[in-house]
Structure 1
Amino acid sequence: MRTFTTTFINIYERTIPRLVSMILLTVFTLASMVLAVHLTDVQQVKGRIVLVTDKSAEMLPKSSSRLNIAVSAEKPPYSALVEQKYDAYVTIGANGDYQIQTLRDDDYKNMVLTLMKNPDAVLKDSKIPRGVGANIIGFMMMFILIQVFGSLFAFADDKEQEQMRRITAAPVSFGGYLAAHCAYCLSMFLPEYILLIILKLWGFDIGFTLLQYAGLLVVMELFGISFALLLYTLINKPDNASMLGRSIVVLTSMLAGSFYLLSKKNILLDLIIKILPQKQLMNFVEYMERGEAWHHSFSIIYVIAVSAVMFMVSCSVLRMKYMKRV
């Protein structure tokens, strides 16, 4: 316990020169979370429609979560469609049928017609949109995994400067030393969790409970810690390990659909995407939104298992490299 406490405090003291860069990355992560909450509301809207009629508003269709309907006695200029101020103009024919004018294709026209008749209609071939919870996790995932590499700077420096050999030779607990680095990494994500608490208290819909977010964030962060620790262990130069790791994180997070769903209907690419831990985590999050999480628990178990394997490999390599030479 003494090794853990001493190392943990020491890491925080060494953080001061790096404070600005860490604050900037934290700000980017927090901004991505706020953006996810905002975009979840925006993406549900399928169109901004102008209903051109002089009939009483009480007799007309109302705006819904998918159609934003404005009523006007006069048709707006055609240029408003070109400038994308509106997506379509709808007029009512003599027989009561809707007539739609839009610059978009016939599929969109048919969708608007369907929603005008029935706002709750199930659209053909429409995918279930992600909820706010999945968007928050997806938007923050890449930034959190990148931030882990910066949070393990003390471990990387100790290894590069040969301090690791002195640590393993000293009468201290090597497990406590590694645990302190992991705890430090986890503590660096408190601002993100505090933001979730603030959003919840302000009445925003954040998708999941705070306890569920805590579990998901811990799993995500432990995966990031295991991956970063493995690269820092296997690659001698910390800068090379960090650059490689961050590049892999950006690429795999994009492929996993952290920001948007990606599918090129390519068998090889789809297989690669399927085995990515980030993809399995996003799958589990989406199952959670539908209330089906525990029927698909393999996804979260897969992420935990991959993290455990990487962490154990890192520990084994470190012990062989340092402890057996003492």
Structure 2
Amino acid sequence: MTRTRPGLRRLAAATLVGVGLLAADVTSLRAAEIVVTDATGRDVGVTDARRIVSIGGSVTEILYALGLDARVVAVDTTSIHPPSALQDKPNVGYMRQLSPEGILAMSPSLVLALDGSGPPEALAVLRAAKVPFVQVPDRFTPDGILDKIRLVAAAAGEPRRGDCLAAAVAQELSSLATPAGPRAAGRPPRVLFVLSFVNERAMVAGRDTAADGIIRMAGATNAMADFAGYKPVGDEAIIAAQPDVVLTMERPGQTFTAEAVLSRPAFVMTPAGAAKAFVSMNGQYLLGFGPRTALAVRDLAERLAVLGAPAAKPAAESLPAVDTLTARHDAALEACLK
């Protein structure tokens, strides 16, 4: 939710040009206070969006997709797409282990942090600082993605850009809505997402998680939907879940192989273990819930289909390759803003 309060003094155009901004940006950046309602229900006023610290991979991805990367002065370690973000921008650390001093040292005029950032003590300091601090909601649904795009754009003073990008992403997401047809055994495949292993117990995803959201969007069923969040479970729970496919994510320093997971005694006693049905995908791509999520859903659905577990329609005929998506979004944004 956004609204504006007029009355703040416009800066001279020459001053803005001196820091690399066009005079046309005055209205969106300094002429009025933009008020957004963040994930916590707080109303946050933003009067200057020229120096943004972006925390959360999908937040950074959205800012770049909006064409606002020049305003980003620092990112966190989860901001791995596009690769230039971490390569070119200072790094303020992991989003769940933030140091408010490190963030404020970047002299930001706005901090955008994905919901779930922490620790709570650090967030309390950032909320108390004079710099506007906006927690960006992270809901694991198509509508949640579109709302995230619009909020990030509104906080940055570019609501029209947000509407344009959201429209392009909504069209991509809508192409995933048609089922593929009859499914094996008359039911959607049961997918078990394994985050990690803790003391030989599998840390798996229940409902209300990004993994649960992407599994459902791909037309499958979360095999561990009886509880919420991520939870370590014993062998009995894995056997009882009877997953058809095991899904994991690739991240720096941790990439599971099919053999390392499916050879464990509990997994051997499941349909996934018997069929060696295993899928591993890049973590930010799979669970980011940002501008690339429609492609991630398509790719997951295609991999499930290859394993004999058809899910949602891959929609390959209407979605581009991953490496051409940025150009497609840039073109859509340019055409919409004319």
Please tell me the TM-score bracket, short chain as reference: under 0.3
Of the two, which has the highest radius of gyration? 1
- Which structure has greater strand proportion? 2
- Which structure has greater helix proportion? 1
- TM-score w.r.t. the length of structure 1 is 0.24
Q: Which has the higher contact order (CA 8 A, sep 6+)?
A: 1
- TM-score w.r.t. the length of structure 2 is 0.23
